[in-house]
Structure 1
Amino acid sequence: MTTRVIIVDDQAMVRAGFAALLAAQSDIDVVGEAPDGAQGVELSRLIHPDVVLMDVRMPEMDGLEAARRVLMLTTFDVDDYVYEALRAGASGFLLKNAPPADLIAAVRVVASGDALLAPSVTRRLIADFARQRPAARGKPALLLKALTERETEVLTLVARGRSNAEIAQTLVLAEQTVKTHVSRVLTKLDLRDRAQAVVFAYESGLVAPGE
């Protein structure tokens, strides 16, 4: 199957570079480009792409506002936009100076329904921003009660950046069983993917920064 991608960035050269790189892949089709978040949102509603590759700093409507309206893979420099973009619903983040192979892989990861978050980076970044800008914990903390003890253990390990294989080894479970637990956690907490699960774990107080 071909992954249909839209590129949203206010720099024409960046759009052209990303488009050329992605279009060269047999399983990726660049179906549109936009110079700002507002046009990116409208284009996405018209075309319904599989992945929106979007910068976070743009005129008219920035990537954060657009992230609240469109499922996407976000591309931007490291700063406090990382945490805010994840909270807003971005499926992941990638630095603009990442190797071309990483960008291609990122599009495929997000298109498959997974969150693009390197475990080691996830833990450091989200813990850091959760420490600096804690959110209200009332509702998230209450939602935790819907989880079983095992599901809570799995969510804790997800938030600490563990892969399914690592969680399976830690809890002495089959990897497929871990996948089932993760799926149930996402369903019970009304979360879309692991990225949102990590943010939720910090905001609910299940995992504290620095642990």
Structure 2
Amino acid sequence: MSVSDLRQDYDKFNLQESDLAATPFDQFDLWFKQALQGDVPEPNAMTLATVDERGQPSARIVLIKDYDARGFVFYTNYQSRKGHELAHNARASLSFFWQPLQRQVLIEGTTEQVSREESQTYFHSRPLGSRIGAWASQQSRPIGDRSELEHRVQQFEEQYGDHPPCPDHWGGYRLLPERIEFWQGRPSRLHDRIVYHTNGQGGWTTQRLAP
């Protein structure tokens, strides 16, 4: 079978205006909880897209760690590629694809760093290996080989033991959304797409888009 022959029809659910929650955060919460309860692998995995100073976009999978009416939170090394790109251009987008539910959520907006207290609280909830890894990995920088990374892990294990502090170069970002699209797969590629836009007055408007 050629790549061009790969296709799947979507026929599980629909999305009607009458079903929408009052805010995109409530709608996201509903769909996220359904993804948690459904047969969705890593429902917290999302694609984060950023742009560098040349206008070159880059995308990678990260994990959402919190969300509320303020926005959507993820954590990373501030000195990583994504960190440098967000320092240059704070605008970014997130996308979730929950294939078993035949759904996508697309989120666009501006990022800001979360408070240091939030970063520290989350950091200390992580497994020890992940906390040591935040010190050992100079994320996105070239290294000679795997043994160099393993040596750094050993170095920080000896230095900090079971109580590594939260590095200054590590912490969270919150994406403050301006546009959130909910996409429900439908037969014959005639999908349901409804987008929430900020209205400039602290509220949201909705609009259906052609598939």
Q: Give the TM bin, normalised by the shorter chain.
A: under 0.3
Given the two structures, how large is their TM-score scaled by the length of structure 1? Answer: 0.27
Taking structure 2 as the reference length, what is the TM-score of the superposition? 0.27
Which structure has more helix as a fraction of its residues?
Answer: 1
Larger RCO, structure (CA 8 Å, separation 6 or more): 2
